[in-house]
Structure 1
Amino acid sequence: MKAILMTAIGSPDVLQVQTLPTPILEQDTQLLVRLKAAGVNPIDTKLRQRGTFYPDRMPAVLGCDGAGIVEAVGSAVQQFRVGDAVYFCNGGLGGHPGNYAEYAIVDQQFVAHKPKSISFAEAAAAPLVLITAWEALYDRGRLEAGQQVLIQAGAGGVGHVAIQLAKLAGATVCTTVSSPEKAEFVTQLGADQPILYKQVDPVDAVLHWTKGEGVDLAFDTVGGAVLSQSFAATSVYGDVVTLLAPNTNTDWKTARDRNLRVSFELMLTPMLKGLVKAQQEQAKILRQCARLIDQGQLTIHVGQTFSLDQAAAAHQCLESGSMMGKLVLLID
């Protein structure tokens, strides 16, 4: 099969097209999936730049997100049949091979049926961001109807899904964006108050929107100074959830003075720690989101697609910033 190998740590040029043996089923609960598309996520570019979680297993096939058609099933598989369309987040961290390839092996426990109403490209764009936004808002942030939420970078991959999930929970949403085009995009997704952070101070804008109180929940998808900004924009006793590790300049004093509950969201933890039950819960999230998508209540925006051979170009595009939605590799 054709696959993209990360041959070394470095620039996008280390992503090389190679021919590898087509994987075979090794356990009776596994599926062989003929991939139709693979999502491209910031974690992919970080692993390429810094090294994978399993440096002794180089070269590596990146790509956590996949969507495709089941081509073979193990003898104990009960939930899927050959020909089923599926989507999942599995592999791609340097250990189990990822989805920048024509085929992937994945256990049935970690797979969900693809939403019927969307393309394979949209399905491949969805798993990591769906699980991340769902866990951040509903599990870490304990979002409730009637609350006010700040979503940082609402036009991005995680952000554009988080807006929709927050609205589905009955929250009102403000979100930071960099341009009028993105402001229109997030408004179409349901955001109540886009904040053009290059034109106004985001904290001032949030406090004005909340009549000086701050939001009940701030979701930081950016990191760095944006985490401290999120503390300042959150109400006393509020929640802040971040996807990134805090830097040395983080304003913990404001977080403490406001008695904030600060949570971290890393949806890769179950995969990294081998937490099977947690991975099963993430597959359940994908099943729930598939229903929402097919009911027209949740959409996935694909900003741009590339062929599998163009994986390096996709990484360059993602690293350039200013994306709306997700990038996807299409696999013939």
Structure 2
Amino acid sequence: MKAVVMESTGAPDVLQLSEIDAPQIEQKREIKVRLKAAGVNPIDTKLRRAGTYHPELTPTILGCDGAGIVESVGAAVERFAVGDEVYFCNGGIGGPCGNYAEYAVVDERYVAHKPAALTFVEAAAAPLVLITAWEALHDRVGIKAGDKVLIHAGAGGVGHVAIQLAKIAGAEVLTTVSDQEKAAFCSELGADQVTLYSETDFAKVALSWSRGRGVDCIFDTVGGQTFSDSFAALRYGGDLVTLLQPAPDLDWKIARMRNLRISLELMLTPLYYNMIEARQHQGNILSQCAALFDQGKLGIKVADVLPLARAAEAHQRIEQGSTSGKLVLAIDSE
């Protein structure tokens, strides 16, 4: 099969289109999927530069997100049949089991039926960001109707999904963006208020928006100074969940004085530790989101679609930092 293979870490050009053996079903609950598209995420670029979670496994195929058609099933598979259209987040953190390829083999427990409302390209853009936003807002924070929520970088891959999930839960949403075009996009998604972080102090905006009380929770997808500046925007006892690792020299005084609850979200943890129940939960998240897509309550923005052979270009564009929505690799596996 054709696959984009990485033999060493480095610049995007270490990603090379190659011909390798296709994976085969080895366990009774596995399904083999003929991939039609693969999502590209910032974590892919980080693993390419710094190394994978499993450097001992080579060659490496990146890409956690995939969507395609079931080609064959293991003897104990119950939920899927040949010909079913599916989407999932699996592999891509080390070794040859990523989705920048024509085929993937994955345990059925971590897979969901593709939303009928989405194309394969749109479905491939969705899993990692859906799971990340869902776990942050529901599993970490316990978002509920009436909450005032601040979502940083609302036009990004995770952010634009988080806005929608927060609104579906009945929350009010304030979000930060870098320009007016992204502001308009977030307003279309349902954000109640949008602020340009380069022109305003988002903490002051959040306090004004919440009538001085502070917002109930903040979802930080940016990290660094944005994380620490968020302390002052939260109500006493509020929740702050971040996707990034806080700096070792961070001053926690304001967070401590305001009795904040700090949560960390890394949706790849269950994959890394092979936590079966947690991974099943992530598959269930995708099934719940599929229903929301098909009900017209949830959408995914694809910024651009590139052929598999141009994976390096996709990485370059993500690293430039100007992408709104998701980049996707289209895979011709006929």
Report the TM-score range of the alignment, normalised by the length of the smaller protein.
over 0.9
Aligned: 1:2 with 2:2: yes
State how 1:224-235 maps to structure 2 within 5 Å: 224-235=224-235
What residue is the counterpart of 2:277 in the other structure?
277
Deviation at 1:305, TM superposition (A): 1.1
SS at match of 1:207: helix
Judge conservation of contact 2:133–2:161 (CA < 8 Å) in 1.
yes
Shift of 1:211: 1.4
Deviation (angstroms), 1:247: 1.2
Q: Is contact 1:220-1:241 (8 Å) kept?
A: yes
Q: Report deviation, 1:202.
A: 1.2
Mapped to 1, the partners of 2:263 and 2:286 lie a distance apart of: 22
Distance 1:155 1:12 in 2: 24
Q: Verify the 8 A CA contact 1:53 1:95 in the aligned structure 2.
A: no
Identity %: 61
Structure 2 partner of 1:63 = 63
Letter in 1 for 2:322: S
Say if 2:59 and 2:96, in contact at 8 Å, map to a contact too: no
Query: Which has the larger displacement, 237-246 or 52-61?
Result: 52-61
Alpha-carbon distance in structure 2 between the residues aligned to 1:181 and 1:247? 31
Q: 1:39·1:327 contact (CA, 8 Å) conserved in 2?
A: yes
Over residues 83-132 of structure 1, what are the superposed CA-to-partner deviations in whole Å (9 max), with x where a residue is unaligned? 00000000000046100000000011110000001110110000000000
**Do the aligned residues in 1 keep the contact of 2:59 with 2:95 (CA within 8 Å)?**
no
Greater mean alpha carbon deviation, residues 93-102 or residues 151-160: 93-102
Counterpart Cα distance in 2 of 1:282 and 1:243: 17
Calculate the TM-score normalised by the size of structure 2.
0.98
Contact 2:166 2:173 in 1 (8 A): yes
* Alignment partner, residue 173 of structure 1: 173
- Contact kept, 8 Å, 2:37 with 2:331, in 1: the verdict is yes
SS at match of 1:94: coil
Q: Which residue of 2 aligns with 1:157?
A: 157
Q: CA deviation at 1:229?
A: 1.5
Q: Describe the SS at the equivalent of 1:57.
A: coil
CA distance in 2, matches of 1:151, 1:251: 22
**Distance in 1 (alpha carbons) for counterparts of 2:163 and 2:228:** 21
Q: Alignment partner of 1:56: what SS? A: coil
Partners of 1:194 and 1:227 in 2: CA distance: 18
What aligned pairs does 1:1-332 form with structure 2 within 5 A after superposition?
1-95=1-95, 97-332=97-332
Q: In structure 2, how many angstroms separate the alpha carbons of the residues matched to 1:206 and 1:108?
A: 43
Paired residues of 1:224 and 1:250 also in contact (CA < 8 A): no
Equivalent position amino acid for 1:307 in 2: P
- How many residue pairs match? The answer is 332
Contact 1:227–1:250 at 8 Å: present in 2 too? no
Q: What is the Cα deviation at residue 213 of structure 1?
A: 1.5
Please give the secondary structure, in 2, of the residue aligned with 1:13: helix
Q: Which segments of 5 or more consecutive residues in structure 2 lack a partner in the other structure? A: none
The one-letter amino acid paired with 1:242 is: T
**1:201 shift after superposition:** 1.3
Cα distance per residue 1:261-304 (max 9 Å; x no partner): 00001111111111001000100000000000000000010011
**Secondary structure of 1:124's match?**
helix
Q: 4+ residue runs of structure 1 moved beyond 4 angstroms?
A: none
CA distance in structure 2 between the partners assigned to 1:218 and 1:251 by the alignment: 18
The answer (yes or no) to whether the contact 1:225–1:250 under 8 Å persists in 2 is no
CA shift in 2, pair 1:96/1:284, >3 Å: farther
Moved more, 110-119 or 54-63: 54-63
